[in-house]
């Protein structure tokens, strides 16, 4: 018996032993969109940590830092750009926003004085001279609000980002190829963000960014595994997203809000969570929530390096989150649709127009370990588009498709959610010999059956014949 058969058999046995199935009706508001992301919503960071950065008695970063020295030599920047060019990514470069400042004598952690731009000027000039493309410059990191080990006052930061914007404009006079200026990339702090944007003005900051703050995630919190399967815990982040959205609506930066760095925060992520299947209950839920709250880009810390890497730091083999992110990138388009689902908060549902028309794509996350869901879909009547916002729009028709659905069922081997082997169509996903990612083909399912979401699984579904005027 080959390996594949053993795996399928294991799954079969477990499915039989599953206890219950709950019926859920999910209502998708296909008439209008509620938010819009960038075409490139899924993003991952590369960090500057040295190999010797260790926490919790381990050194998870390996040699995956962008450099292992104190500064970025030009040759390394050349090599990195070769990699960026070959992989076709868009690059955001994080600049050191502390350069030139000094520690305050009065307030601990605060850095004072004007930012010194010469180093950034040199980098940009060199980058331009070599024809490298930088999509955006991010100004500083973790310096807003109380900061993380260091902070800068909002007014000073606002003044300096104006200086950076001027520099970018001076060196890139063509608006079509001018990199964006993003900032402040730090924890959300309403008062600080407001003062910052008041000083910088509306047309300086292209994207307001913030760091996701699932505060206790990676620290050695033994309850984290339970928390990231708890819908009320996951929902807590909605407050931050809402707060940022309010500020964005008030100041209207040109490209909106980003999540600039998010992972299991603090010290490289959690060893037994971040690189395992259970992490995606959190990660994919964040992708869904961030897009629902009109965030344009969501950057995962990191592409490689640390326990929270999408690609294993030592072997470069994809961790479970990688496959979830890849399918999100391929299937979920930029237009976000409203979804409601009454009976069960343990089924998380996000719907977007599909990336490649026609139709919609839905992401389902089943947080329950012993219950599956049978999902039917409803759409709002299209006439109800014209109702006043105070009217209660009634989802009064059940959607019955006639075309087969395209379904991607992701589960984990032997139902061990702290395992690392992801199953698609019950087959383990492992890189093929040439090190390429295996093809991820959907299962075609007859539209007359409900969508089945197994316990502790992630399902992407594309429905080609769902009538959603917002996606036309």
Ligand X SMILES: *[C@@H]1O[C@H](CO)[C@@H](O)[C@H](O)[C@H]1NC(C)=O
Closest residue to ligand X: CB criterion: 113
Nearer to ligand X, 24 or 278 (CB): 24
> Between vectors from CA 467 to CA 463 and to CA 472, what angle results, nearest 5°?
95
> Segment contacting ligand X (CB under 6 A): 29-37, 43-51, 428-436, 443-451?
443-451
Stretch that binds ligand X, among 97-105, 144-152, 290-298, 344-352 (CB under 6 A): 97-105
Q: How far is the CB of 121 from ligand X (least distance, A)?
A: 17
| Cβ at position 405, least distance to ligand X in Å | 10
3-class state of residue 98 by DSSP: coil
Spatial separation of the C-alpha atoms in residues 290 and 336, rounded to whole Å:
10
Cα angle 315, 318, 321 (rounded to 5 degrees) comes to 140
Longest CA–CA separation in the chain, Å: 71
Task: Label residues 180-199 b or e (16+ Cβ within 10 Å = b).
Answer: bbbbbbbbbbeebbebbbeb
Supply the minimum distance, in Å, between the C-beta of residue 257 and ligand X. 26
Which of 88, 149, 173, 222 touches ligand X (CB under 6 A)?
88
Q: How far is the CB of 427 from ligand X (least distance, A)?
A: 21
In this chain, which of 62, 113, 231, 358 binds ligand X, going by CB under 6 A?
A: 113
Under rule CB under 6 A, which residues in 349-408 are in contact with ligand X?
Answer: 374, 404
Residue 223: φ, ψ to 5°: -90, 0
Query: Could you tell me the smallest distance in angstroms from the CB atom of residue 265 to ligand X?
Result: 30
Which of 77, 73, 296 has the alpha carbon at shortest distance from 180? 296
Terminus-to-terminus CA distance in the chain, angstroms?
48
Q: Near ligand X by CB under 6 A, which window of 55-63, 100-108, 121-129, 200-208? A: 100-108
Structure tokens at 396: 């009064």
The least CB distance from residue 231 to ligand X, in Å, is: 21
What is the footprint of ligand X within residues 218-237 (CB under 6 A)? none
Q: In this chain, which of 315, 392, 448, 472 binds ligand X, going by CB under 6 A? A: 448
Q: 114-133: which residues touch ligand X (CB under 6 A)?
A: 114, 131, 133
Contact window for ligand X (CB under 6 A) among 143-151, 188-196, 269-277, 448-456: 448-456
The answer to whether residues 97 and 114 touch, using CB atoms and an 8 Å cutoff, is no
d(CA 238, CA 403): 35
How many residues contact ligand X, by CB under 6 A? 18
Return the residue of 32, 40, 51, 85 that touches ligand X, per CB under 6 A. 85
CB of 407 vs ligand X, minimal distance in Å: 13
Q: Whole-number minimum distance, CB 430 to ligand X, in Å?
A: 28
Name which of 163, 137, 161, 141 is nearest 150 in CA terms: 141
Nearer to ligand X, 68 or 104 (CB): 104
Instruction: Please state the closest distance from residue 103 (CB atom) to ligand X, in A.
Output: 9
Cβ atoms of 26 and 282 within 8 Å: the answer is no
| Whether 190 contacts 247, CB under 8 Å | yes
Which of 8, 15, 21, 178 binds ligand X (CB under 6 A)? It is 21
Range in contact with ligand X (rule: CB under 6 A) among 72-80, 95-103, 407-415, 453-461: 95-103
43 Cβ neighbours under 8 A, 6+ residues apart: 92, 297, 298, 299, 300
Q: Which of 169, 317, 446, 469 binds ligand X (CB under 6 A)?
A: 446
List % helix, strand, coil for the chain (3-state, nearest 5).
30, 25, 45
Between 23 and 32, CB nearer to ligand X: 23
Shortest Å, Cβ 100 to ligand X: 6
Touching ligand X, residues 260-319 (CB under 6 A): none
What is d(CA 97, CA 152) in angstroms, rounded to the nearest whole number?
9
Residue nearer to ligand X on the CB measure, 236 or 446:
446
The reply to whether 449 sits near ligand X by the rule CB under 6 A is yes
Q: Which helix (H) or strand (E) holds 162?
A: helix 154-171
410 burial type by CB count under 10 A (0-12 exposed, 13-18 middle, 19+ buried): buried
Looking at the Cβ atoms of 15 and 246, the one nearer to ligand X is 15
Selected from 6, 12, 13, 23, the binder of ligand X by CB under 6 A is 23
Please count the other Cβ atoms lying within 10 Å of the Cβ belonging to residue 272: 13
Task: List residues binding ligand X (CB under 6 A).
Answer: 21, 23, 85, 88, 100-102, 113-114, 131, 133, 374, 404, 446, 448-450, 452
């Amino acid at each position: 018996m080959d390996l594949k058969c053993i795996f399928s058999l294991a799954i079969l046995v477990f499915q039989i032993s599953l206890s219950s199935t709950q019926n859920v009706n999910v209502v998708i508001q296909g008439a209008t969109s509620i938010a819009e992301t960038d075409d490139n919503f899924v993003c991952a960071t590369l960090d500057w940590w040295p190999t010797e950065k260790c926490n919790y008695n381990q050194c998870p970063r390996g040699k995956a830092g962008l450099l292992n020295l104190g500064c970025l030599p030009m040759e390394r920047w050349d090599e990195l750009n070769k990699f960026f060019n070959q992989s076709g990514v868009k690059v955001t470069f994080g600049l050191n926003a502390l350069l030139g400042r000094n520690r305050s004598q009065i307030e601990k952690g605060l850095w004072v004085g004007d930012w010194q731009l010469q180093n950034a000027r040199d980098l940009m000039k060199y980058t331009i001279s070599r024809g490298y493309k930088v999509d955006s410059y991010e100004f500083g990191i973790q310096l807003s609000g109380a900061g993380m080990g260091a902070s800068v006052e909002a007014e000073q930061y606002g003044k300096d980002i104006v200086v950076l914007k001027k520099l970018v404009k001076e060196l890139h006079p063509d608006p079509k190829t001018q990199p964006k200026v993003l900032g402040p990339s730090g924890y959300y702090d309403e008062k600080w963000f407001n003062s910052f944007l008041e000083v910088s003005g509306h047309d300086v900051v292209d994207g307001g960014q913030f760091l996701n703050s699932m505060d206790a995630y990676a620290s050695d919190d033994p309850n984290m595994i339970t928390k990231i399967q708890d819908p009320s815990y996951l929902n807590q982040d909605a407050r931050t997203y809402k707060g940022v959205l309010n500020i964005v609506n008030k100041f209207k930066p040109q490209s909106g809000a980003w999540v600039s760095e998010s992972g299991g925060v603090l010290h490289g992520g959690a060893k037994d969570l971040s690189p395992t299947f259970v992490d995606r209950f959190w990660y994919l839920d964040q992708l869904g929530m961030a897009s629902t709250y009109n965030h344009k880009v969501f950057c995962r810390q990191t592409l490689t390096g640390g326990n929270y890497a999408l690609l294993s730091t030592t072997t470069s083999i994809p961790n479970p989150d990688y496959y979830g992110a890849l399918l999100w990138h391929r299937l979920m388009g930029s237009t976000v649709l409203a979804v409601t689902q009454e009976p069960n908060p343990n089924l998380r549902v996000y719907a977007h127009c599909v990336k490649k028309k026609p139709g919609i794509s839905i992401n389902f996350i089943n947080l329950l370990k012993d219950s599956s869901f049978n999902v039917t879909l409803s759409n709002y009547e299209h006439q109800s588009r014209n109702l006043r916002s105070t009217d209660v729009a009634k989802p009064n028709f059940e959607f019955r498709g006639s075309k087969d659905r395209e379904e991607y069922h992701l589960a984990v081997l032997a139902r061990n959610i702290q395992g690392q082997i992801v199953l698609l169509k019950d087959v383990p996903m492992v890189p093929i010999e040439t090190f390429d990612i295996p093809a991820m083909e959907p299962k075609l399912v007859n539209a007359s059956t409900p969508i089945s979401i197994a316990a502790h699984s992630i399902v992407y579904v594309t429905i080609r014949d769902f009538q959603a005027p917002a996606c036309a």
